[in-house]
Amino acid sequence: MQEDYYEILGVARDASAETIKKAFRKLALEFHPDRNQGDKESEEKFKKINEAYQILSDDQKRRMYDRYGKEGISGAYGGAGGGGFDFGSIFGDFFEQAFGGGGRSRPSDPYGIDTELAVTLEFKEALEGVHKEIKYKIKKPCPTCDATGSKDKKKHTCSACGGTGRVAVRRGYMSFIQSCSECGGTGEIVKDRCKDCGGKGFTEEDVSLKFDIPAGIDDGQRVRLSGKGNVSKTGEIGDLYVIVRVKEDSHFLRDGDDLYIEVPVFFTQAILGENIEVPTPRGKAELKLKVGTKDKQRFTIYGEGAPNIRTKKNGDLIVQVNVQTPKKLNEKQETLLRELQESFGSKGGDDEGILDKIKNFFK
* Model pLDDT for residues 309-334, shown as the tens digit of each residue: 999 999 999 999 999 999 999 999 99
Q: Is the pTM of this model over 0.75?
A: no
Range of lowest pLDDT (177-181, 251-255, 278-282, 299-303): 177-181
Return the closest-CA partner of residue 211 out of 303, 98, 119, 282.
Answer: 119
Give me the percent of the chain exceeding a pLDDT of 70: 81
217 touches 309 (CB < 8 A): yes
307 touches 314 (CB < 8 A): yes
Residues of the chain with CATH 1.10.287.110: 5-85
Angle between helix 40-56 and helix 59-77 axes, rounded to 10 deg: 110
Q: Name the E strands within 113-239.
A: 115-121, 130-141, 156-157, 166-171, 174-179, 188-189, 202-213, 222-225
**What pLDDT shows up at residue 320?**
94
Q: Please tell me which residue, 215 or 42, carries the higher pLDDT value.
A: 215
User: Does 2.60.40.2220 match the CATH number of domain 115-246?
Assistant: no
- pLDDT tens sequence across 239-289: 999 999 999 999 999 999 999 999 999 999 999 999 999 999 999 999 999
Residues of the chain with CATH 2.60.260.20: 115-246, 253-361
Average pLDDT over residues 97-117: 59
User: Does 1.10.287.110 match the CATH number of domain 5-85?
Assistant: yes
> Is pLDDT at 52 greater than 70 in this prediction?
yes
Which of 1.10.10.60, 3.40.50.1100, 2.60.260.20, 1.10.10.10 would CATH assign to domain 253-361? 2.60.260.20
68 touches 21 (CB < 8 A): no
> Is pLDDT at 101 greater than 60 in this prediction?
no
